[in-house]
Amino acid sequence: MHLFYHVDRAVWQALSGPQQEEGKARLATLIAEARGWEKFQILTLSILARADIGFMIVGPDMHQVNALEKKIASALGPNVLRPAYSYLSLTEKSEYTTTEAEYVEELRTKENLEPGTPAFEEKLATWKERIKYYTQTRMYPTLPDWEYFCFYPMNKKRLPGQNWYALDFAKRRELMLGHARVGRKYSGKVTQLVTGSTGLDDWEWGVTLFAHDPYEIKSIVYEMRFDEVSHGYAEFGPFYNGLRLELPQIFERLAL
């Protein structure tokens, strides 16, 4: 869950000094406790321009996520945090990932390697480790400790002549593999988490990017616009950019 809020200054300033300190302590305690829950991760973010403060919550229990969301909203005091934007999605593995049978066929037809040969078995073992790592990072991600954050939602188009869902699976897979090759050029510069939201939110996917340099976020999004998957079939929602900071730093920047 991605949560972005504005701080209502009038409501905040109407609170007494002790009430303000209690609210900040309450929010800090809430985040610290939730970070101790099993398999939960929470990022606190200073959002640029479009909101004041943001939270990215990753966890396995929807009840806990929901309870945490409600407590965050009221932690600083009633109506201090006003929702700017929110997004709900699930981690998922891409349906276009190469299967073992497909990779074996590639080794046989494209590299003339037969099962049982040392070269074949070495390549297959390497591929299995790579797929295992990919699946783990997509389904159970560890959020990186990188400074810059960007989130945006997106859809695949369903228009006459530009209907992604009217393409057959083989064509969609071919296009997505090409799209992924562009993304791999930014390995070590941008970490990307794509989560699915069909039936959960107004868009179909949420994309979260992390980088050490905001230029790399701009660069990968720009370059991918020229890929056929994007220029032919993608629609993009609002972009939310921020800085990964802990609450005391965010409170200081917001003059709370």
The pLDDT assigned to 24 comes to 98
Give the span between the Cα atoms of 201 and 181, in whole angstroms: 28
The pLDDT assigned to 181 comes to 85
Task: Give me the tens of pLDDT residue by residue for the chain, a chain 256 residues long.
Answer: 999 999 999 999 999 999 999 999 999 999 999 999 999 999 999 999 999 999 999 999 999 999 999 999 999 999 999 999 999 999 998 888 888 999 999 999 999 999 999 999 999 999 999 999 989 999 999 999 999 999 999 999 999 989 999 999 999 999 998 888 888 899 999 999 999 999 999 999 999 999 999 999 999 999 999 999 999 999 999 999 999 999 999 999 999 9
- Compute how many other C-beta atoms are within 10 angstroms of the C-beta atom of residue 17: 7
Which residues are marked as active site?
152
The pLDDT assigned to 191 comes to 95
Question: What string of H, E and C letters represents the secondary structure of the chain?
Answer: CEEEEEECHHHHHCCCHHHHHHHHHHHHHHHHHHHCCCCCEEEEEEECCCCCEEEEEECCCHHHHHHHHHHHHHHCCCCCEEEEEEECCEECCCCCCCCHHHHHHHHHHHCCCCCCCHHHHHHHHHHHHHHHHHHHHHHCCCCCCCCEEEEEEEEECEECCEEHHHCCHHHHHHHHHHHHHHHHCCCCCEEEEEEECECCECCCEEEEEEECCHHHHHHHHHHHCCCHHHHHHEEECCCEEEEECCHHHHHHHCCC
